[in-house]
Amino acid sequence: MNEQELRAVVIVTLKTIAPEVEEGDLRPDRPLRNQVDLDSMDWLNFLIGLHEKLKVDIPEADYARLVTLGDVLDYLKTKLGR
């Protein structure tokens, strides 16, 4: 899976939680949860969606590192061994 495909998976997963999201409006360097208004339940469901699609394990202790969309993509890349 290349970077573009990974990004597409993340956006699709995000849209299942927040269908109104426009990809073009997302700033990769800003806190994702503020931009998209995700509460803890939304956030958990977002991560569960990524876990199910990408088969990655995301321990709760790592949540603090996942702030921006860029962070999420970098984290997943590392997890997927790229």
Q: Which of residues 33-72 bind another protein (CB under 8 A)?
A: 37, 39-41, 44-45, 47-48, 51, 57-61
| Binding footprint of another protein, residue count (CB under 8 A) | 17
Backbone angles phi, psi at 68, to 5 degrees: -100, 170
Residue 4 C-beta: closest distance to another protein, Å: 25
Q: Which of 2, 4, 5, 20 binds another protein (CB under 8 A)?
A: 20
Question: By CB neighbour count within 10 A (0-12 exposed, 13-18 middle, 19+ buried), where does 10 fall?
Answer: buried
Stated as kind and residue range, the H or E segment containing 22 is none
25 near another protein, judged by CB under 8 A: no
